[in-house]
Amino acid sequence: MKKEWFAAKDLVGINGLPTSTQGIHGMARRQGWEKRRRIGVQGRAVEYHIDSLPNMTKPALIIQEKSAEYLCASYHDPLLIWIESYKQLNEAEREQIVSFIVREGMTAMIKRISPGDERPH
């Protein structure tokens, strides 16, 4: 997950969290969430670190972030789609893809994923 800091408004109502920003701030105070001042915002706005949040909220935040990445990749630019897809792989998957391309080449990869290919994927 790339994003580590979340404003209270981003957390409202997620997986059992309070449904108001005041409720989020109150829960954060009671549970001692790690916070910092929000950059570029006037006033006393703060944001909370993901490791301080209850475990039940993390999966929902991860899902929201991935959706945003897919949205960015929808420009139909093949390079952007490739880059965003590659970023979403874990290290072992990245190594496997790169190893396959180095060993077999892009042509073999294209043949493997082309429609009409009868081999199981």
More confident residue, 9 or 16: 9
pTM of the model: 0.51
- pLDDT at position 57: 87
Per DSSP, the residues of 57-121 read GHHHHHHHHHHHHHHHGGG--HHHHHHHHHHTS-HHHHHHHHHHHHHH-HHHHHHHHSTT--S--
Q: Residue 90 above 80 pLDDT? A: yes
Question: Could you tell me the sign of the dihedral formed by the alpha carbons of 48, 74, 81, 112, in that order?
Answer: positive
Tokens 């190594």 label which residue? 95
Confidence band, pLDDT 50/70/90 cuts, at residue 26: very high
Other CB atoms within 10 A of residue 78 CB = 8
Domain range summary for the chain, segments of one domain joined by +: 5-60, 76-113
- pLDDT at position 114: 81
Amino acid (one-letter) located at 87: K
The pLDDT tens digits of the residues spanning 78-88 come to 777 787 788 88
Q: Which of 87, 96, 88, 8 is nearest to 46 (CA)?
A: 8
Q: What is the mean pLDDT of the chain?
A: 82
Confidence band, pLDDT 50/70/90 cuts, at residue 73: very low
Q: Residue 60 above 50 pLDDT? A: yes
Give me the architecture of the 5-60 domain, per CATH.
Orthogonal Bundle (1.10)
The pLDDT tens digits of the residues spanning 91-114 come to 898 899 889 888 988 888 888 888
CA distance 16 to 6: 16
